[in-house]
Chains A and B, each alone.
Chain A
Amino acid sequence: MENYQLEKRIEDLNRQLQTTIQDLEELQHALSHDLRAPLRAVIGFSSILKEEYSGQLDDEARRLIETIVTNSKKANHFIEELVSFSRLGRKHLLLQQVPMQKLAWQCIHELLTEQEQEVFDIVIGDLPDCYGDAVMLKEVWVQLLKNAIRYSSKKEQPSIEVNFTVADGLSVYVVKDKGAGFDMEYSHKLFHIFQRLHSNDEFEGTGTGLAIVKRIILKHGGSVWAEAVPNKGSSFYFTVPLQEQ
Protein backbone atom coordinates (compact mmCIF):
# COMPACT_ATOMS: atom_id res chain seq x y z
CA MET A 1 0.00 0.00 0.00
CA GLU A 2 1.11 3.53 -0.65
CA ASN A 3 1.78 5.83 2.29
CA TYR A 4 -1.24 8.01 1.74
CA GLN A 5 -3.45 4.91 1.55
CA LEU A 6 -2.08 3.71 4.87
CA GLU A 7 -2.67 7.08 6.44
CA LYS A 8 -6.22 7.10 5.19
CA ARG A 9 -6.76 3.61 6.54
CA ILE A 10 -5.49 4.64 9.98
CA GLU A 11 -7.74 7.70 9.90
CA ASP A 12 -10.75 5.52 9.03
CA LEU A 13 -9.99 3.07 11.81
CA ASN A 14 -9.58 5.89 14.30
CA ARG A 15 -12.92 7.34 13.33
CA GLN A 16 -14.56 3.93 13.72
CA LEU A 17 -12.95 3.53 17.14
CA GLN A 18 -14.23 6.94 18.23
CA THR A 19 -17.76 6.02 17.13
CA THR A 20 -17.57 2.73 19.01
CA ILE A 21 -16.39 4.46 22.18
CA GLN A 22 -19.20 7.01 21.85
CA ASP A 23 -21.76 4.22 21.35
CA LEU A 24 -20.45 2.47 24.45
CA GLU A 25 -20.69 5.62 26.53
CA GLU A 26 -24.25 6.20 25.41
CA LEU A 27 -25.16 2.60 26.13
CA GLN A 28 -23.68 2.92 29.59
CA HIS A 29 -25.60 6.11 30.23
CA ALA A 30 -28.83 4.48 29.06
CA LEU A 31 -28.15 1.47 31.27
CA SER A 32 -27.48 3.43 34.41
CA HIS A 33 -30.18 6.01 33.85
CA ASP A 34 -33.06 4.76 31.76
CA LEU A 35 -33.12 1.18 33.02
CA ARG A 36 -32.82 2.03 36.69
CA ALA A 37 -35.83 4.36 36.77
CA PRO A 38 -38.39 1.68 35.78
CA LEU A 39 -36.74 -0.76 38.19
CA ARG A 40 -37.09 1.76 40.99
CA ALA A 41 -40.80 2.03 40.15
CA VAL A 42 -41.25 -1.78 40.16
CA ILE A 43 -39.50 -2.17 43.51
CA GLY A 44 -41.08 0.94 45.00
CA PHE A 45 -44.68 0.20 44.11
CA SER A 46 -44.41 -3.51 45.00
CA SER A 47 -43.00 -2.51 48.39
CA ILE A 48 -45.83 -0.03 48.93
CA LEU A 49 -48.34 -2.74 48.00
CA LYS A 50 -46.78 -5.06 50.55
CA GLU A 51 -46.58 -2.39 53.22
CA GLU A 52 -49.99 -0.81 52.89
CA TYR A 53 -52.17 -3.73 51.81
CA SER A 54 -50.55 -6.57 53.71
CA GLY A 55 -53.75 -7.04 55.76
CA GLN A 56 -55.71 -7.82 52.61
CA LEU A 57 -53.10 -10.20 51.17
CA ASP A 58 -52.63 -13.85 52.00
CA ASP A 59 -49.24 -15.56 52.40
CA GLU A 60 -49.04 -16.61 48.75
CA ALA A 61 -49.71 -13.05 47.54
CA ARG A 62 -47.03 -11.74 49.86
CA ARG A 63 -44.58 -14.38 48.61
CA LEU A 64 -45.29 -13.34 45.01
CA ILE A 65 -44.59 -9.69 45.79
CA GLU A 66 -41.38 -10.70 47.56
CA THR A 67 -40.30 -12.57 44.41
CA ILE A 68 -40.91 -9.47 42.28
CA VAL A 69 -38.88 -7.29 44.65
CA THR A 70 -35.99 -9.77 44.97
CA ASN A 71 -35.66 -10.18 41.22
CA SER A 72 -35.84 -6.46 40.49
CA LYS A 73 -33.12 -5.87 43.05
CA LYS A 74 -31.05 -8.53 41.37
CA ALA A 75 -31.51 -6.86 37.98
CA ASN A 76 -30.43 -3.57 39.49
CA HIS A 77 -27.36 -5.17 41.02
CA PHE A 78 -26.40 -6.53 37.59
CA ILE A 79 -26.74 -3.09 36.05
CA GLU A 80 -24.58 -1.51 38.74
CA GLU A 81 -21.85 -4.11 38.30
CA LEU A 82 -21.94 -3.83 34.52
CA VAL A 83 -21.70 -0.05 34.64
CA SER A 84 -18.79 -0.02 37.09
CA PHE A 85 -17.05 -2.66 34.97
CA SER A 86 -17.37 -0.63 31.79
CA ARG A 87 -16.36 2.57 33.61
CA LEU A 88 -13.17 0.82 34.72
CA GLY A 89 -12.07 0.42 31.12
CA ARG A 90 -11.89 4.17 30.62
CA LYS A 91 -10.18 5.08 33.90
CA HIS A 92 -6.56 6.24 33.79
CA LEU A 93 -3.99 4.64 36.07
CA LEU A 94 -2.58 6.77 38.86
CA LEU A 95 0.83 5.15 39.23
CA GLN A 96 2.72 5.10 42.51
CA GLN A 97 4.52 2.76 44.91
CA VAL A 98 1.88 0.46 46.43
CA PRO A 99 2.36 -1.33 49.77
CA MET A 100 0.77 -4.65 48.82
CA GLN A 101 1.14 -6.36 52.19
CA LYS A 102 -0.58 -3.51 54.04
CA LEU A 103 -3.28 -3.41 51.39
CA ALA A 104 -3.97 -7.15 51.71
CA TRP A 105 -4.35 -6.91 55.50
CA GLN A 106 -6.53 -3.85 55.17
CA CYS A 107 -8.89 -5.79 52.87
CA ILE A 108 -9.01 -8.74 55.30
CA HIS A 109 -10.02 -6.38 58.11
CA GLU A 110 -12.69 -4.79 55.95
CA LEU A 111 -14.14 -8.07 54.68
CA LEU A 112 -14.16 -10.07 57.92
CA THR A 113 -15.19 -9.13 61.45
CA GLU A 114 -12.76 -10.00 64.25
CA GLN A 115 -14.79 -13.07 65.19
CA GLU A 116 -14.86 -14.24 61.58
CA GLN A 117 -11.11 -13.75 61.35
CA GLU A 118 -10.70 -16.20 64.21
CA VAL A 119 -12.61 -18.89 62.33
CA PHE A 120 -10.26 -18.54 59.35
CA ASP A 121 -6.67 -19.64 59.30
CA ILE A 122 -5.18 -16.53 57.68
CA VAL A 123 -1.56 -16.26 56.57
CA ILE A 124 -0.20 -13.26 54.73
CA GLY A 125 3.47 -13.74 53.80
CA ASP A 126 6.08 -11.14 52.90
CA LEU A 127 4.66 -9.19 49.98
CA PRO A 128 6.93 -6.68 48.25
CA ASP A 129 5.59 -3.26 47.20
CA CYS A 130 4.65 -2.91 43.59
CA TYR A 131 4.22 0.02 41.21
CA GLY A 132 0.65 0.64 40.14
CA ASP A 133 -2.71 2.26 40.88
CA ALA A 134 -3.39 1.78 44.61
CA VAL A 135 -7.17 2.14 44.40
CA MET A 136 -7.45 -0.37 41.57
CA LEU A 137 -5.03 -2.84 43.14
CA LYS A 138 -7.00 -2.69 46.35
CA GLU A 139 -10.03 -3.72 44.29
CA VAL A 140 -8.00 -6.72 43.05
CA TRP A 141 -7.32 -7.81 46.64
CA VAL A 142 -10.93 -7.21 47.64
CA GLN A 143 -12.29 -9.34 44.79
CA LEU A 144 -9.79 -12.19 45.22
CA LEU A 145 -10.15 -12.30 49.01
CA LYS A 146 -13.93 -12.01 48.79
CA ASN A 147 -13.93 -15.06 46.53
CA ALA A 148 -11.60 -16.98 48.85
CA ILE A 149 -13.92 -16.20 51.77
CA ARG A 150 -17.12 -16.95 49.86
CA TYR A 151 -15.98 -20.28 48.46
CA SER A 152 -14.59 -21.37 51.84
CA SER A 153 -17.87 -20.70 53.62
CA LYS A 154 -18.92 -24.36 53.63
CA LYS A 155 -15.63 -25.69 54.99
CA GLU A 156 -15.10 -26.48 58.66
CA GLN A 157 -11.52 -25.24 58.71
CA PRO A 158 -11.37 -22.47 56.14
CA SER A 159 -7.99 -21.03 55.32
CA ILE A 160 -6.60 -18.19 53.23
CA GLU A 161 -2.98 -17.84 52.28
CA VAL A 162 -1.62 -14.77 50.53
CA ASN A 163 1.94 -14.98 49.29
CA PHE A 164 4.57 -13.90 46.82
CA THR A 165 6.95 -16.02 44.74
CA VAL A 166 9.33 -15.63 41.87
CA ALA A 167 8.83 -18.27 39.22
CA ASP A 168 10.38 -18.33 35.73
CA GLY A 169 11.61 -14.79 36.25
CA LEU A 170 8.07 -13.59 36.99
CA SER A 171 7.12 -11.93 40.26
CA VAL A 172 3.85 -13.49 41.27
CA TYR A 173 1.33 -12.65 43.99
CA VAL A 174 -0.96 -15.50 44.98
CA VAL A 175 -4.20 -15.96 46.94
CA LYS A 176 -4.88 -19.56 47.99
CA ASP A 177 -7.89 -21.07 49.69
CA LYS A 178 -9.05 -24.56 50.66
CA GLY A 179 -12.60 -23.96 49.54
CA ALA A 180 -14.95 -25.28 46.87
CA GLY A 181 -12.47 -24.95 44.00
CA PHE A 182 -13.65 -25.54 40.46
CA ASP A 183 -13.22 -27.84 37.49
CA MET A 184 -10.19 -26.72 35.45
CA GLU A 185 -12.05 -27.76 32.29
CA TYR A 186 -14.11 -24.56 32.57
CA SER A 187 -11.29 -22.29 33.69
CA HIS A 188 -11.41 -20.34 30.39
CA LYS A 189 -14.79 -18.95 31.49
CA LEU A 190 -13.51 -17.78 34.83
CA PHE A 191 -12.46 -14.25 33.96
CA HIS A 192 -15.37 -13.36 31.66
CA ILE A 193 -18.07 -11.02 32.86
CA PHE A 194 -21.29 -12.65 34.13
CA GLN A 195 -19.82 -16.14 33.73
CA ARG A 196 -19.95 -18.29 36.82
CA LEU A 197 -18.78 -21.79 37.62
CA HIS A 198 -21.13 -22.20 40.59
CA SER A 199 -24.88 -21.76 40.72
CA ASN A 200 -26.44 -19.02 42.82
CA ASP A 201 -27.99 -21.64 45.09
CA GLU A 202 -24.54 -22.92 46.00
CA PHE A 203 -22.76 -19.57 46.29
CA GLU A 204 -24.15 -16.06 45.76
CA GLY A 205 -22.52 -13.85 43.15
CA THR A 206 -22.99 -12.03 39.86
CA GLY A 207 -19.85 -13.03 38.00
CA THR A 208 -18.18 -9.64 37.76
CA GLY A 209 -15.42 -9.92 40.39
CA LEU A 210 -12.85 -11.83 38.37
CA ALA A 211 -13.66 -9.90 35.20
CA ILE A 212 -12.81 -6.73 37.15
CA VAL A 213 -9.59 -8.33 38.44
CA LYS A 214 -8.50 -9.29 34.93
CA ARG A 215 -9.31 -5.85 33.53
CA ILE A 216 -7.23 -4.13 36.24
CA ILE A 217 -4.26 -6.50 35.93
CA LEU A 218 -4.21 -6.18 32.14
CA LYS A 219 -4.31 -2.38 32.45
CA HIS A 220 -1.12 -2.71 34.55
CA GLY A 221 0.50 -4.84 31.86
CA GLY A 222 0.42 -7.94 34.07
CA SER A 223 -1.30 -11.29 33.78
CA VAL A 224 -3.67 -13.34 35.91
CA TRP A 225 -4.47 -17.06 36.02
CA ALA A 226 -5.88 -19.69 38.34
CA GLU A 227 -5.46 -23.29 39.38
CA ALA A 228 -7.98 -25.35 41.29
CA VAL A 229 -9.14 -28.79 42.33
CA PRO A 230 -12.86 -29.27 42.93
CA ASN A 231 -13.60 -29.37 46.66
CA LYS A 232 -9.94 -28.94 47.56
CA GLY A 233 -9.45 -25.25 46.86
CA SER A 234 -8.23 -22.64 44.39
CA SER A 235 -5.15 -20.50 43.83
CA PHE A 236 -5.28 -17.21 41.98
CA TYR A 237 -2.03 -15.80 40.64
CA PHE A 238 -1.28 -12.34 39.26
CA THR A 239 1.72 -10.30 38.19
CA VAL A 240 2.12 -6.53 38.24
CA PRO A 241 5.25 -4.40 37.74
CA LEU A 242 7.27 -4.08 40.95
CA GLN A 243 9.11 -0.97 39.84
CA GLU A 244 8.52 2.05 37.63
CA GLN A 245 9.14 1.02 34.05
Chain B
Amino acid sequence: MNIEKQTIDTISLTINMQTYNEVEIVLVEDNPNDAELTIRALKKINLANNLIHLKDGAEALDFIFARGIYSQRNVENIPKVILLDIKMPKVDGIEVLRQIKGNDLTKRIPVVIMTSSKEQKDIFNSYNLGVNSYVVKPVDFESFAKAVSELGLYWVLLNQKTI
Protein backbone atom coordinates (compact mmCIF):
# COMPACT_ATOMS: atom_id res chain seq x y z
CA MET B 1 0.00 0.00 0.00
CA ASN B 2 2.80 2.37 0.98
CA ILE B 3 4.79 1.60 -2.12
CA GLU B 4 1.80 2.29 -4.31
CA LYS B 5 1.11 5.57 -2.62
CA GLN B 6 4.73 6.52 -3.13
CA THR B 7 4.73 5.84 -6.88
CA ILE B 8 1.57 7.86 -7.32
CA ASP B 9 3.12 10.74 -5.33
CA THR B 10 6.24 10.69 -7.49
CA ILE B 11 4.13 10.85 -10.61
CA SER B 12 2.12 13.73 -9.20
CA LEU B 13 5.30 15.58 -8.34
CA THR B 14 6.88 15.16 -11.73
CA ILE B 15 3.82 15.96 -13.78
CA ASN B 16 1.58 18.77 -12.68
CA MET B 17 -2.03 19.29 -13.70
CA GLN B 18 -1.03 21.57 -16.54
CA THR B 19 0.94 18.80 -18.21
CA TYR B 20 -1.79 16.23 -17.51
CA ASN B 21 -3.91 18.24 -19.89
CA GLU B 22 -1.23 18.12 -22.59
CA VAL B 23 -0.81 14.35 -22.54
CA GLU B 24 -0.82 12.91 -26.06
CA ILE B 25 0.03 9.27 -25.37
CA VAL B 26 -1.38 7.34 -22.43
CA LEU B 27 0.54 4.12 -21.86
CA VAL B 28 -1.27 1.66 -19.61
CA GLU B 29 1.17 -1.14 -18.81
CA ASP B 30 1.81 -3.03 -15.58
CA ASN B 31 5.05 -4.68 -16.68
CA PRO B 32 7.87 -2.18 -16.00
CA ASN B 33 10.18 -3.81 -18.56
CA ASP B 34 7.63 -3.66 -21.36
CA ALA B 35 6.90 -0.06 -20.39
CA GLU B 36 10.59 0.85 -20.49
CA LEU B 37 11.06 -0.77 -23.92
CA THR B 38 7.97 1.02 -25.25
CA ILE B 39 8.99 4.44 -23.88
CA ARG B 40 12.53 3.94 -25.19
CA ALA B 41 11.25 3.24 -28.71
CA LEU B 42 9.00 6.32 -28.59
CA LYS B 43 11.83 8.50 -27.24
CA LYS B 44 13.99 7.56 -30.22
CA ILE B 45 11.48 9.21 -32.53
CA ASN B 46 10.85 12.12 -30.12
CA LEU B 47 7.32 11.10 -29.23
CA ALA B 48 7.77 10.48 -25.50
CA ASN B 49 7.57 14.08 -24.33
CA ASN B 50 3.86 14.15 -23.72
CA LEU B 51 3.49 10.61 -22.49
CA ILE B 52 2.09 9.38 -19.22
CA HIS B 53 2.71 5.86 -17.99
CA LEU B 54 -0.08 4.41 -15.84
CA LYS B 55 0.60 1.13 -14.08
CA ASP B 56 -2.75 -0.60 -13.98
CA GLY B 57 -6.34 -0.44 -15.17
CA ALA B 58 -7.65 1.30 -12.05
CA GLU B 59 -5.14 4.14 -12.41
CA ALA B 60 -5.98 4.35 -16.13
CA LEU B 61 -9.69 4.80 -15.36
CA ASP B 62 -8.89 7.48 -12.76
CA PHE B 63 -6.82 9.38 -15.31
CA ILE B 64 -9.21 9.02 -18.25
CA PHE B 65 -12.29 9.97 -16.24
CA ALA B 66 -10.42 12.62 -14.18
CA ARG B 67 -11.05 11.00 -10.84
CA GLY B 68 -9.05 10.45 -7.65
CA ILE B 69 -5.60 12.03 -7.84
CA TYR B 70 -6.38 13.15 -11.39
CA SER B 71 -9.61 14.95 -10.45
CA GLN B 72 -8.14 18.33 -11.44
CA ARG B 73 -7.55 17.14 -14.99
CA ASN B 74 -9.97 18.42 -17.61
CA VAL B 75 -11.76 15.35 -18.92
CA GLU B 76 -12.37 17.07 -22.26
CA ASN B 77 -8.66 17.22 -23.06
CA ILE B 78 -8.45 13.93 -24.78
CA PRO B 79 -5.18 12.20 -25.60
CA LYS B 80 -4.25 11.27 -29.17
CA VAL B 81 -4.03 7.60 -28.31
CA ILE B 82 -4.25 5.18 -25.41
CA LEU B 83 -1.88 2.21 -25.60
CA LEU B 84 -3.53 -0.42 -23.46
CA ASP B 85 -2.20 -3.72 -22.16
CA ILE B 86 -4.80 -6.44 -21.46
CA LYS B 87 -3.44 -8.52 -18.64
CA MET B 88 -3.12 -6.26 -15.62
CA PRO B 89 -3.86 -6.57 -11.90
CA LYS B 90 -7.07 -5.10 -10.41
CA VAL B 91 -8.86 -3.87 -13.55
CA ASP B 92 -7.82 -5.53 -16.82
CA GLY B 93 -7.50 -3.86 -20.22
CA ILE B 94 -10.77 -5.24 -21.59
CA GLU B 95 -12.69 -3.65 -18.72
CA VAL B 96 -10.87 -0.32 -19.21
CA LEU B 97 -11.76 -0.49 -22.92
CA ARG B 98 -15.40 -1.29 -22.08
CA GLN B 99 -15.67 1.78 -19.85
CA ILE B 100 -13.93 4.12 -22.31
CA LYS B 101 -16.04 3.03 -25.26
CA GLY B 102 -19.21 2.91 -23.17
CA ASN B 103 -19.04 6.58 -22.19
CA ASP B 104 -20.03 9.46 -24.52
CA LEU B 105 -17.26 11.67 -23.12
CA THR B 106 -14.47 9.23 -23.89
CA LYS B 107 -15.64 6.89 -26.62
CA ARG B 108 -13.92 8.88 -29.39
CA ILE B 109 -10.44 8.43 -27.88
CA PRO B 110 -8.44 6.02 -30.07
CA VAL B 111 -7.51 2.94 -28.08
CA VAL B 112 -4.83 0.51 -29.25
CA ILE B 113 -4.63 -2.80 -27.44
CA MET B 114 -1.03 -3.99 -27.07
CA THR B 115 -0.79 -7.47 -25.71
CA SER B 116 1.42 -10.53 -25.62
CA SER B 117 -1.04 -13.10 -26.86
CA LYS B 118 -3.22 -13.74 -29.88
CA GLU B 119 -6.01 -15.08 -27.66
CA GLN B 120 -9.04 -15.34 -30.01
CA LYS B 121 -11.43 -14.37 -27.21
CA ASP B 122 -9.49 -11.17 -26.45
CA ILE B 123 -9.36 -10.15 -30.12
CA PHE B 124 -13.07 -10.77 -30.57
CA ASN B 125 -14.07 -8.96 -27.37
CA SER B 126 -11.83 -5.98 -28.10
CA TYR B 127 -13.26 -5.37 -31.56
CA ASN B 128 -16.73 -5.96 -30.23
CA LEU B 129 -16.18 -3.16 -27.73
CA GLY B 130 -14.89 -0.84 -30.44
CA VAL B 131 -11.10 -0.98 -30.16
CA ASN B 132 -9.33 1.11 -32.83
CA SER B 133 -6.44 -1.28 -33.30
CA TYR B 134 -5.15 -4.54 -31.87
CA VAL B 135 -1.42 -5.23 -31.87
CA VAL B 136 0.41 -8.32 -30.64
CA LYS B 137 3.71 -7.23 -29.07
CA PRO B 138 6.55 -8.95 -30.92
CA VAL B 139 9.06 -10.72 -28.69
CA ASP B 140 11.94 -9.88 -30.99
CA PHE B 141 13.41 -6.47 -30.06
CA GLU B 142 13.84 -4.97 -33.53
CA SER B 143 10.27 -5.90 -34.48
CA PHE B 144 9.00 -4.60 -31.13
CA ALA B 145 10.76 -1.24 -31.51
CA LYS B 146 9.53 -0.99 -35.10
CA ALA B 147 5.94 -1.79 -34.13
CA VAL B 148 5.93 0.79 -31.33
CA SER B 149 7.43 3.57 -33.44
CA GLU B 150 5.07 2.89 -36.35
CA LEU B 151 2.12 3.03 -33.93
CA GLY B 152 3.42 6.26 -32.40
CA LEU B 153 4.00 7.94 -35.76
CA TYR B 154 0.61 6.92 -37.04
CA TRP B 155 -1.56 7.89 -34.06
CA VAL B 156 0.33 10.98 -32.94
CA LEU B 157 1.39 12.51 -36.25
CA LEU B 158 -0.60 11.04 -39.14
CA ASN B 159 -4.03 10.39 -37.74
CA GLN B 160 -6.43 13.35 -37.52
CA LYS B 161 -7.47 13.77 -33.90
CA THR B 162 -11.16 13.92 -33.01
CA ILE B 163 -12.73 17.26 -32.11
Interface-facing stretch out of A32-40, A167-175, A210-218, A225-233: A32-40
A40-B33, A44-B37 known; A33 vs B87 contact (CB < 8 Å): yes
Over the window 122-149 of chain B, the binary record of Cβ atoms lying under 8 Å from chain A Cβ atoms (1 yes, 0 no) is: 0000000000000001111110100000
Interface residues of B, Cβ cutoff 8 Å to A? 31, 33-34, 37, 40, 87, 115-119, 137-142, 144
CB-CB contacts below 8 Å: A33-82 with B: 33, 36-41, 43-48, 69, 72-73, 76
Residue numbers in A under 8 Å from B115 (CB-CB): 33
* Beta-carbon contact of B119 and A40 below 8 Å: no
Minimum CB–CB distance for A170 against chain B, Å: 35
Closest CB in chain A relative to B121 CB, distance in Å: 10
Nearest residue, chain B, Cβ from A75: B139
A155 at the interface (CB under 8 A from B): no
Interface CB pairs A-B, < 8 A, 8: A33-B115, A37-B33, A40-B37, A40-B138, A43-B139, A45-B33, A47-B141, A76-B139
Choice from B31, B119, B141 contacting A32 with Cβ under 8 Å: B119
Asked if A154 is at the interface of the complex by the 8 Å CB criterion, the answer is no
Whether A41 lies near B119 (C-beta < 8 A) is no
A102 in contact (CB, < 8 A): no
By beta carbon, the residue of chain B nearest A36 is B116
A150 within 8 A of B: no
**Smallest Cβ distance from B33 to chain A, in angstroms?**
4
Chain B facing A: main interface SS: loop
CB-based nearest B residue for A46? B141
Residue A29 interfacial (CB < 8 Å) = yes
Known A32-B116, A39-B139, A40-B139; further 17 A-B contacts with Cβ < 8 A? A29-B117, A33-B87, A33-B116, A33-B119, A36-B116, A37-B33, A37-B34, A40-B33, A41-B33, A41-B37, A43-B139, A43-B140, A44-B33, A45-B37, A73-B139, A73-B140, A76-B140
Q: A40: which of B87, B118, B137 is its contact (CB, 8 Å)?
A: B137
Residues of A within 8 A of B40 (CB): 48
Give the residue name and chain of the B residue nearest to A72 (CB): B139
Q: How far is the CA of A73 from the CA of B138 in the complex (A)?
A: 11
Name the residue of chain B whose CB is nearest to the CB of A80: B139
CB of B45 to closest CB in A, whole Å:
15
Whether A47 pairs with B33 at a CB distance below 8 angstroms is no
- In Å, the complex CA distance between A39 and B141 comes to 10
Check B119–A29 contact: CB distance below 8 A.
yes
Closest to B86 in A: A33
Closest to B117 in A: A32
CB-CB under 8 A from B33, the residues of chain A are 37-38, 40-41, 44-45
Chain A residues contacting B140 (CB-CB under 8 Å) are 43, 73, 76
Question: Within residues 133 to 150 of chain A, which ones have a CB less than 8 A from any CB in chain B?
Answer: none
Q: Report A-chain residues with C-beta under 8 Å of the C-beta of B118.
A: 32
Contacts A37-B33, A37-B34; A43 near B119 (Cβ below 8 A): no
Closest residue of chain A to B141, judged by CB? A47
Docked Cα-Cα span, A192 to B140, in Å, equals 27
The residue in chain A whose Cβ has the minimal distance to the Cβ of B120 is A87
Interface pairs A-B: 7 shortest CB-CB: A41-B33, A47-B141, A32-B117, A76-B139, A44-B141, A33-B117, A44-B37
List chain A residues, Cβ under 8 A from B142: 47
Query: Is there an interface contact between B116 and A37, defined as CB atoms closer than 8 Å?
Result: yes
What chain B residues lie within 8 Å of A45 (beta carbons)? 33, 37
Residue from B40, B117, B119 having most chain A Cβ neighbours under 10 A: B117
Q: Which residues of B contact A33 (CB under 8 A)?
A: 87, 115-117, 119
Q: Closest CB of chain B to A39's CB: distance in Å?
A: 5
